[in-house]
Amino acid sequence: MKTTLIYSCLILCFLSCKKKEPIQPLPTTASKEVFEVLNTQNSNLPSNKVNDILMHQSEVWIATEEGLCRIENNIWTVYNVSNSPLPSQNINVVKVDANNHVWIGTDLGLVKFDRVNWSIFNTSNSDLPTNKIRSIAIDVDDVIWIGTFTNGGVIKYDGTNWQVFTPQNSGLPNNSIGAISTTSQGLLWIGTGGGLTSFNGANWITFNQTNSGLPNNNVYAIATEDNNILWVGTNGGLSKFENNIWQTYNTTNSDLPSNLVRPIIVVENGVKWIGTQNKGLVKYDGINWEIFDIENSNISGNIITSIAIDNSGKKWIATQQNGISIVE
């Protein structure tokens, strides 16, 4: 009862706050970085269309439109429909749980790979409402949360039971899921076509253009900084949510090159690496903006789909059509 009361108070605080801090445009720094490029011609990458990259311990997992790659100690392994039980060549997302099991989202269902056996979940043999899996998150209890493209909402899978959340049976505002992220406190953040939603297992809060400073209801990326700052990628720019205050960076009030913000990662010292849908990669340290595109650098493409950082600190940048670019 006490927890519910506290959470209700937070809802009132969040929804009543629409304050935006003013932002002054800052100069853009010209690119001086050199990228190493991986593609189908110079590596074992099966496709230049890369959807997701995941770093797990010493492994690199790469989701492409022609299969799933694993790299460890410079050894490549490619899984596809010809050499594995994968139901589809098109891999949208990959995650690894606490038991070292690999979870794979495809256009033809969800796959679990325990490093020996493959398990395929789809609308025919499970409670999945759709086979088109866009995003996966794994919470502190090792529960799998699944986001779908258009009509499936969010699915919770604890290894035994399936639970489907839609606008009809929950506080989820929209069935189209652009991103899912979990925090160390067990809070779930969901980017939808109807705004940004949080879920603590009992209560739902949705932030949208009407009740908050969120600049656009289409949310495609969520990143957490220091467990209390949220960075949100939308079709209306990059938003920071801290202490109940929204601050939005866009092409008008900052040097962000595009309002179509996709992947976001936060690295040491609070530096943000931001991918855009059409204008390349952005590095933002809180003061300076640095833009990497095909005109001012040797980055392989301007459409950024995923960003990951490896154990040596290198950033791996996935592009929609031009392979992977790697930078220190």
* Range(s) of the domain holding residue 75: 48-121
90 part of a folded domain: yes
So what's the pLDDT on residue 150?
A: 81
- Domain CATH for 103: 2.40.10.500
pLDDT given for residue 33 in this prediction: 83
Query: Which bin fits 270, alpha (ψ -120 to 50), beta or left (φ > 0)?
Result: left
Residue 110 neighbours by CB distance under 10 Å: 23
Whether 252 maps to a domain, the answer reads no
| In-domain check, residue 74 | yes
> What order of strands is seen across the sheet that includes strand 50-56?
50-56, 59-64, 67-72, 75-79
Identify the weakest region by mean pLDDT among 1-5, 142-146, 175-179: 1-5
Evaluate whether residue 298 is within a structural domain. no
Q: From CA 316, how far away is CA 307, in angstroms rounded?
A: 6
Tell me how many domains the chain contains.
1
Q: Dihedrals φ, ψ of 13, to 5°?
A: -65, -45
Decide if pLDDT at 198 tops 60. Answer: yes
Q: Taking Cα atoms as reference points, which of 197, 122, 207 lies closest to residue 157?
A: 122
> Residue 188 domain-assigned?
no
Helix or strand or coil: residue 272?
A: strand
Are 307 and 315 in contact by the 8 Å Cβ rule? The answer is: yes
CA dist., res. 238 & res. 21, Å (int) = 14
Average pLDDT of span 42-70: 98
The neighbouring-strand residues paired with 136 are 146
* Cβ–Cβ < 8 Å for 240, 230: yes
Region 298-308: mean pLDDT is 98
Quote the tokens at residue 4. Answer: 């519910």
Residue whose token pair is 């990959």:
94
DSSP state of 264: E
Evaluate whether residue 108 is within a structural domain. Answer: yes
Residue 237 within a domain: no
The answer to whether residue 321 sits within a structural domain is no
> What whole-number distance in Å separates Cα of residue 82 and Cα of residue 100?
24
Cβ atoms of 78 and 86 closer than 8 Å: no
pLDDT tens track for 151-181: 899 999 999 999 999 999 999 999 999 999 9
Q: Specify whether the CB–CB gap between 68 and 86 falls below 8 A.
A: yes
Return mean pLDDT, the chain.
Answer: 91
